[in-house]
Amino acid sequence: MPHPLSQRTVVPVMVASTIFLSIVDGAITTVALPSIGRQFHLAATSLDSVVVVYPVCVGMLLPASAWLGDRFGGKRVLLLSLALFTLASALCGSADNLGELVAYRALQGCAGGLLMPVGGAMLFRTFSASERVRAGRLMIFPQQVAPAMAPILGGVLVDEFSWRWVFYVNLPVGIAATLFGLIFLTPHRDHPAGRLDIPGLLLSAAGLGALMYGVCEGAQQGWSAAPVDAALVGGTVLLAVAVVVQLRSREPVLRLRLFSDRLFRDTNLICLVGMVAIMGAMFLGPLFIQEAQGRSALASGTSTFTEAFGVVVTVQLAGAVYSKVGPRLIIAAGLGLVACVLLLLSTCDLHSSLWTFRLYMFLLGVGMGGVFMPTTVASLSTVRLIDVAHASTLNTMVRQTAGALAPAVVASLLVLEAGAQGRSAPPLAAYQDAYRALAVIALVAALFSLTMPDGVARRAALGEPEPDSYSPTATHSEPFPS
């Protein structure tokens, strides 16, 4: 009996729910650290393991996500990981000590490592290449609403209830999304999974986990700290070996050969570099308002959220002109605007008003909106349907890496300048110089984006298959099976 709801509605709802949960959980936990420290009689600075363990476990599970989706089907893996994430959230809220909280956060990270890539693969399988721009425009709402509201929501929950509610708040969304998926989501698999590449999986998981730990802890412990150096060197070596092993494998757990396609490679490289500048700015803003200007967390949250409005506006405009001008010019213009706004932010001082900061953050969002959707849609323009899950996994890995690098770069810049001036806290000039450094990174990404080929991306958006080539659009233009 057919489901009353089309999969074109069901899949976006499920993906939006997983995006919302993942992003809110990551952003809201930091707000609760001081309260958690008081509960467990620990300094907030000693609680970094609560934050770091999550991206480490995400990195370890990411390589397996595509194979698991192919082997057991997207519906099963997505719902199981969503249920596990929700259960782990409840356990985090009930933790009685730091050890329990870290263990439950690790469980959350394992589930989170499957949510984003499996959900992304289902989304792009549901829509043809010519419809993905519209889908990307819709998905930008949860991607921007979640980080904008998380600090404000976290502050209210911690102040009015307790830190435990920053985890309990995931329960209604997680339970509702799981039940909705059980009822309406249709099982679907494109092809058999094939043999699991166990050596590639173990090497990739260990390498990514070690590298994530080293990057996340580098600014906290110092880049010369033995554990950090061991993690960075060990992770790099393991990943290098993993690359060699998987390039020789007939069925690698990570299809690194997808990077031989120039458009896929260029869009991911642009995303990696550009996201460091963008996410670095999002990390630096609250620090500047709270630490340099001495304002409250609420003032910080209500001053940085304006970027979400800018992103939403630009994404809609970018989607309307994507097939006409192509992603190259949109991405270059977006990153160029990001660089200009970062230079404006570098002029803020201790007396700059919050309304000035809100305006700059809105303009930053306008630039960001020209980067997020076009890079994702363009990256999959030349990917075969059979490779979509693996391409989604690689895209997620690149974004996770950028998300870990961004705060590490910013924190290192602040610590280095504070140390150079013999201060324990960064001076105003350190924040301004950090904004300038991020502007340079954004400008480099903007210039590089002008070199990317985008003819095939424009044709895919128009529904025109490439001649003499396998086209996902041509083979999957019908509605998702229901």
pLDDT, tens digit (0-9, with 9 covering 90-100), for 186-221: 876 656 667 777 888 888 888 888 888 888 777 677
Among candidate residues 179, 196, 213, the one where a domain is terminated: 196
pLDDT score for 179: 93
146 versus 15: the higher-pLDDT residue is 15
Q: What mean pLDDT, rounded, does the chain reach?
A: 81
Check which CATH number belongs to the domain holding 33 and give it. 1.20.1250.20
Kindly state whether residue 311 falls inside one of the protein's structural domains: yes
The verdict on 150 and 276 lying in the same domain is no
Q: Give 44-93 pLDDT, tens digit per residue.
A: 555 667 777 888 888 888 888 878 887 888 888 889 999 999 999 999 98
Same domain, 35 and 168: yes
Does residue 275 sit in the same domain as residue 174?
no
CA distance linking residue 459 with residue 244, whole number of Å: 34
What single DSSP character describes residue 265? H
Q: Is the per-residue pLDDT at 468 higher than 60?
A: no
Statement: residue 471 has pLDDT above 60: no
Q: Region 425-437: what's the mean pLDDT?
A: 87
Residues 335 and 421 in one domain: yes
User: What's the total number of domains in the chain?
Assistant: 2
Model confidence at 132, pLDDT cuts 50, 70, 90, reads low
Considering only CA atoms, which of 255, 281, 431, 404 is closest in space to residue 346? 431
Q: Are residues 335 and 465 in the same domain?
A: yes
356 and 455 share a domain? yes
Q: Is the pLDDT of residue 435 over 70?
A: yes
In a domain, 253, yes or no: no
Do 149 and 166 meet the contact criterion of CB atoms below 8 Å apart? no
pLDDT given at position 36: 78
- Is pLDDT above 50 for 285? yes
Identify the pLDDT of residue 424.
60
Residue 409 has pLDDT above 80, yes or no: yes
Averaged pLDDT for residues 358-377: 89
Q: How many percent of the chain have pLDDT more than 90?
A: 21
The CA distance from 31 to 150, in Å, is 9
Does 2 reside within a domain?
Answer: yes
Same-domain pairing of 190 and 280: no
Residues 181 and 287 in one domain: no
Among residues 148, 168, 196, the one where a domain terminates is 196
- pLDDT for 2 beyond 50: no
pLDDT at 465: 53
d(CA 330, CA 382): 19
Quick count: other Cβ atoms within 10 Å of Cβ 288?
A: 27
Range of the domain at 49: 1-196
Q: Residue 324, class by beta-carbon neighbours within 10 Å (0-12 exposed, 13-18 middle, 19+ buried)?
A: exposed
Q: Is residue 464 part of a domain?
A: yes
Q: Residue 434 — pLDDT band, cuts 50, 70, 90?
A: very high
pLDDT beyond 80 at 258: yes
Of the two residues 407 and 425, the one the predictor is more confident about is 407
* Helical (H) or strand (E) element with 208: helix 198-221
Q: Cα separations (Å) of 364 from 190, 310, 347?
A: 40, 7, 15
- The verdict on 189 and 263 lying in the same domain is no
| pLDDT computed for residue 395 by the predictor | 86
Sign of dihedral through CA atoms 177, 11, 113, 375?
Answer: negative
* Alpha helices per DSSP H over 297-384: 297-304, 306-325, 327-345, 354-368, 372-379
Q: What is the pTM of this model?
A: 0.79
Segment 404-425 mean pLDDT: 76
Domain end call among 147, 176, 196? 196
Residues 6+ apart with CB under 8 A from 479: 6, 7, 8
186 and 284 co-located in one domain: no
pLDDT of residue 115: 84
- 426 within domain boundaries: yes
Same domain (yes/no): 276, 188: no
pLDDT band at 346 (very low <50, low <70, confident <90, very high): very high
Of residues 322 and 461, which shows the higher confidence score? 322
Same domain, 296 and 384: yes
Q: In this predicted structure, what is the pLDDT of residue 474?
A: 36
Question: Is the residue at 119 inside a domain?
Answer: yes
Mean pLDDT confidence for 273-285: 88
Residue with the larger pLDDT of the pair 67 and 144: 67
297 occurs within a structural domain: yes
Q: Is residue 250 part of a domain?
A: no
